[in-house]
Structure formats: C-alpha cells, structure tokens
Structure 1
Amino acid sequence: MKNRKPPFEITNPMIDSVAEIAELVGNLTAANPYSANPTLRRVHRIRTIHSSLAIEQNTLSLEQVTAVLNGKHVLAPPKDIAEVKNAYEVYEHLDQLDPYSVDDLLTAHGILTRGLVEESGVFRTRPVGVVDHEGHILHFGTLPQYVPDLMTELLDWARTSEIHMLIRSCVFHYELELIHPFADGNGRIGRLWHTLLLSNWNPAFAWLPVESIIHDRQQEYYAAINASNDQGESTVFIEFMLSAIKASLIEVISTRDEMSDAPKDKPMLRWKTIEAYLKTHDHIMNAEVRELCGVSAATANRILSQLSQEGKLVKCRVHGHWAYRLAE
C-alpha cells in the first residue's frame, strides 16, 4: 500500500509555534514537582475528561465528573456517567497503548464506547454524514469499505513521517476526523490519540489538559475543521491546535509559577496547592493535605485550621468525618 502523505502546508506560524512549544515543554519539565504530584495530575486528568466529553454534549459538570470518579452517586443520565467512567479507564491506560497500532486504536474505541454504541471497538459498517449542531451536513465520511485501509495507511504515515511530532499529531487528529472511521466517538478518540502521540514525544502531555483549552475555544475548533475541509488540507486545523497546545502549556506553567513565586512563603504555596485541588473537589480532608503538601497529620490539621481562621476554608462534616470546603 502506498504511504500517502496527507495534504497540508508547513507555515511560518506553525514553525514559530513548534519552537515556542518546545521551549515551554523544556520549562515545564526541567524541574517541576507540580507535574509529578499524583493528586494534581489526577486533577488535570479529570479536567481533560470533563472537557473532551463536554465538547460532545455530555451534561456532567466538572464537579459531577469528579464525584463519579470518586465513586459517589450522581443524579445524571446513565449514558453520560458511563462515558465518564469509560474515558477515565482509557486515559489511565494511555501508557500501555501503541499509537501506531490499528488493534490498539480499536481497543481504545471499544473501552470509550463500551455499552454505549452498537459498533463499539470496530470500524463502522455504514456510510455516515457529519452534521453540525443545526443539522447541516458538513461532509460525508469515507465510505465504510475504504476505512480500514485508510486508517492503516494513516497510522503508518504517523509512524514513519519525519515531520515534527507536534505537527504530525495535529495532522493525524484532523485526518481521523475526516475519515470518520467509527459510528460514534470519533471526536473523543481523535483527541485521545492526539494526546497519545504527543505523550510518546514527551510524557508531560499524558496529563496536560489540552482538551480544556479546546473546550474553551470549541467554536474555533469546529471552525478550523470546517475551514480545513473547505480547503482540502489540514493547515488551518494544525495552526489552531498548536495554538491550543501552547495555551495549555502557558496556563499550567503560569499556575506553577504562581505557586512557587515565593518559595520561602510556605503558607501561600500550601494555600495555592489546596485551592487548586478544591477547584475539582467539593471538600478536602487531612489525608489529602498530607499528600498534597508532604506534611504530617498534625501539620495538616494546623494548615486547615489556619486557613479556616483566615476565612478561606469552611469546616464541614462529610460521612461523619471533619472536612473543609472553599468559603463562599
């Protein structure tokens, strides 16, 4: 099979973005305990899942997604809850997936859509048209009989291309959406595989919440796809995605720098860490503070008590235990 290069142009804005992103990644990974913290990594992972599913009209809020993943009962459509659990399972096994394997792509789709669609974990067998929110047909996906060969060819191109992975992963993302290989879940699998390709280039991307930037700029995301469709090449989409990746890195680095501006000011650093945690959790207990701040149980109690006295936290009871939540 001929390994066709997908159509796109490498532009000056792309080259500039790649250089800036590489520099930002270096900044992020040089000495960043923030990214190594398992609790904060989980916060990023939850943001990623919430954003990727919200783009596809999942109704759960960030707080509800967090509650579901913490094993709590949430009043929401069962389908939306299942999407959250499935997505979390896939993202948690990201490092076990081969980004160039057709089998792994199908396996990941099978987990993402388990119990939700008829053709789960297999390429679609019927023609499909891609429509916008108003029901207008944007384009027709590839005829189903050509999908397996085109996806194999695309994965082979991604594996063998010498183009920088930052650009290559964007091209793959766009081309997958264009082929539309699955009956449902193409957006979710496209963003997942983009993250997987990038995390193979640099492990920091496994937890970087790029999807939250896409969610914030959802109309631009679809506009970039439509513009690329109209032009018959992915150039516009690549430029958009690189800008989203850059914005995500800047956000994470900015948060880290805010937390470490005054390294001697431990109370401020600890408060910033606890505040970041509480953005995706409705309360915090002594055990979480011990893990987040690396302190003893007694010190964790003192930190929580002090923040409560300062009016930043409010003490509450959760399942018979004392906890703290953000003050209104």
Structure 2
Amino acid sequence: MSYQPPYTINPAIVNLVAAISETIGRYTVLAEQSLTPRLRRENRIRTIHASLAIENNTLTLEQVTAVIEGKQVLGHPREIQEVRNTFAAYEALEGWRAGSERDLLSAHELLMRGLVDEAGCYRSGGVGIFQGKQLVHMAPPANRVPELMADLLGWLAMTTEHPLIAGCVFHYEIEFIHPFADGNGRMGRLWQTLILRDWKPLLAYLPVETVIREHQESYYQALAAADEQADATPFIAFMLSELLAAIRQATATDQVTDQVTDQVTDQVTDQVTDQVTDQVTDQVTDQVAALIRGIGNGELSSSDLMQTLGLTHRPTFRENYLNPALAGDWIERTQPDSPRSPKQRYRLTAKGRDWLQRHADQ
C-alpha cells in the first residue's frame, strides 16, 4: 500500500473512538430489538432529507416522505429527482464494496442520474469551491483524478485503520479531490455510511446526516480547517463527534426506548420487577439533577432549559444534560411522536417528580 492520506491520530480522536465503541453496544442492542422495517425506513428518509438539505434542497421532510411513497408533490422537478435518486442509492448500499471503483462510479450514476451529464464518471474539467465570490478550495486537475481515486480506493481496501477513522478519512478525501462534476458531498456521506455499515450493519440506518445538518456551518469549517492544514485530522475529530452525538441521540429517542420498554415489560415477572425496583437508586449526575430542578413542575423548551441552566453550548447541553435525562427516564417529551417539533417541550416523568420531591430540601 503506497498511498497514505495525511492525518494524525491524536488523543481527542482516540477518546472519541473509545466513546463511540462503548456507546455502539447499547445502540446495537436497542436497534436489534426495536428497529422495525417501518422505523428503518423512517430513519433512512430522515437521512436523505438531511443530506439533501445540506446541498440546499428545499423540500421538507414531509415532502421527501411523499416523494418516496410515490405521491405527487408540488416542488422543483430537480429536487424531486434528487430525492428519488438518493433513496435508490441508499437502498442499494448492501450490494456495494467500499474499495471498489466500479461500485463507487455506479453509486454516483444512481445518485446523479438525470441531474448531470457526467453521472457515473469522473469530472472532465477543473472545479473550485466558492463561498460567495471567494474561492476557498481549488480541486486537483481533472487529469489527476483517476490516479488520485485509485490511490485512495487502494488505501481503503488495504488499510487496517479502525472503520470509524477510515470512513472519516475517505469522506474528507472525496471532498478534497472532488472527483465528480457534482454530488461530491452526497457521495462522501454515502460512502462513509457504507464503510460504517460494513463494520456495524445497523449503522446503515443511523441518521448521522441529521446531526450534521444541525451543525452545517461547523461541517464546512472542519473541511476548511483540514484544507488549511493539508491534514484530515480536524475533519476526523468533527465527524467522530457528530457520529457520537447521533448514536447517543438515537439511544435516547422515545421511538426506540418506548418500544424496548414495552417488550421488556411484557417479559418480566413480578419477581424480576421487584428486583429491578430494589436496584433503582437516586444516583443521577450533577447535570441531570440540575436539569430536573430546572424543569420543576413546568414544561420547558430546550432553549428555555439552556437559559435556566446558564448554558450556551448546545452540543454540551444535549450530551451532558438532555440526552442522559431522557435515557434515564427522568424527563419526557410533550410531543414524543415529533422529536424535532418546534413546539417540543420537556417535563418530568413520574420518576423525575418523585426524585425532585425527595430532594426538594437539598
């Protein structure tokens, strides 16, 4: 293996890989039990909507769902075609090998069919990436693309790097080389999903793109930082943090935990119930305790909660306060069927109210 993409495995990346590897076990157990075909399809639709929204597709999640279901949608024909193509590409994941150039080009042809002239082919001309009128990245000349992609795919096929890191590296390198006339961002995210799927098959249904969409500016900043350093390390760290957030979010969502709870409840006996009850303690993290007290007997939005807790960094709020409180059944959503509703509020569960009452004087 002659080609080695430039990146460094620093302590932050090692810690992120360890955290993901630890968290993925719980996600796998929950997903195997409760990711029904319907939920897998819903997660895939969310993935498609987010990936296309990053590329300025304006269709709503409801419209994307309708297009995939074959319904008529009032929208720009190109955007509708993008949805159909992207859904077909994600559905075809299982038949592709990450290190195969033939499969990579087939995926691009499927993804960009009817949208560009060079679908399924490397670009024939030069390309630059602009922010407004400013050139922020000039991709390598077109005549170098086949060689660069052969090196990259050869590295991917032979590397012993952890799939979490390999996926991030390949994603960044695709954005740097920009091998296609259009669709490079979509291809980078699609191929990273394929690499992750080869490691843990259920990750094919983890909507990482929805988290990236929420932090889209940071996504571009990480790409720019990697370009400036000529080193993929900043992008690897960013993508791993987004993947960790997506897994934690998935393991905390009501659509997973409620179904698992129902299944467990049907299976337990009174003896096991008593045993579990005896094991329930008041042990919560300081952050979750602060969140419980912050909500009190009210119903607060995430923004209101952050203000109450004096927090300004939303990822910290989610990872250390909100998601653990949801996962521990200390709080619940007021609209569990629409986790991302702008009208979403959070309130204490019976368990949370009981804890608050018993710790009212502390």
TM over 0.5, shorter chain: yes
Partner of 1:116: 115
CA deviation after TM superposition for structure 1 residue 135, in Å: 3.0
User: In the aligned structure 2, how far is the partner of 1:250 from the partner of 1:197?
Assistant: 20
Partner of 1:100: 99
The two structures have a TM-score, normalised by structure 2, of 0.71
CA contact (8 A) 2:34 2:260 kept: no
Change (3 A) 1:232 1:189: same
Partner of 2:4: 5
1:181-220 deviations in whole A, cap 9, x for unaligned?
Answer: 0000000001000000110011011110011111011000
Partner of 2:223: 225
Letter in 2 for 1:198: L
Match for 2:173 among 172, 175, 187?
175
Letter in 2 for 1:211: E
1:256-306 deviations in whole A, cap 9, x for unaligned?
Answer: 23554565399xxxxx9xx766779xxxxxxxxxxxxxxxxxxxxxxxxxx
CA contact (8 A) 2:33 2:260 kept: no
Gaps spanning 5+ residues in structure 2: where? 268-331, 341-362
Count of aligned pairs between the two proteins: 271
User: In the aligned structure 1, how far is the partner of 2:34 from the partner of 2:79?
Assistant: 29
Counterparts in 2 of 1:79-228, with a 5 A limit? 79-132=78-131, 134-228=132-226
CA deviation after TM superposition for structure 1 residue 71, in Å: 1.1
Asked if residue 77 in structure 1 is aligned to residue 76 in structure 2, the reply is: yes
Change (3 A) 1:37 1:114: same
Match for 1:254 among 230, 252, 255?
252
User: In the aligned structure 1, how far is the partner of 2:34 from the partner of 2:95?
Assistant: 20
Letter in 1 for 2:146: P
CA contact (8 A) 1:83 1:112 kept: yes
User: In the aligned structure 2, how far is the partner of 1:253 from the partner of 1:94?
Assistant: 23
CA contact (8 A) 2:112 2:183 kept: yes
Letter in 2 for 1:257: T
Letter in 1 for 2:220: Y
Counterparts in 2 of 1:282-321, with a 5 A limit? none
User: Greater Rg, structure 1 or structure 2?
Assistant: 2
Gaps spanning 5+ residues in structure 1: where? 267-271, 281-328
CA deviation after TM superposition for structure 1 residue 91, in Å: 0.3
Change (3 A) 1:260 1:69: same
Partner of 2:15: 16
Letter in 2 for 1:180: H
User: In the aligned structure 1, how far is the partner of 2:250 from the partner of 2:33?
Assistant: 9
Question: Which has the higher relative contact order, 1 or 2, with Cα contacts under 8 A spaced 6 or more apart?
Answer: 1
User: In the aligned structure 2, how far is the partner of 1:244 from the partner of 1:279?
Assistant: 18
Identity of aligned residues (%): 45
Indicate the RMSD between aligned Cα atoms, in angstroms.
Answer: 2.0
Letter in 2 for 1:251: Q
The two structures have a TM-score, normalised by structure 1, of 0.79
CA deviation after TM superposition for structure 1 residue 243, in Å: 0.3
Counterparts in 2 of 1:254-273, with a 5 A limit? 254-255=252-253, 256-261=256-261, 263-264=264-265
CA deviation after TM superposition for structure 1 residue 162, in Å: 1.2
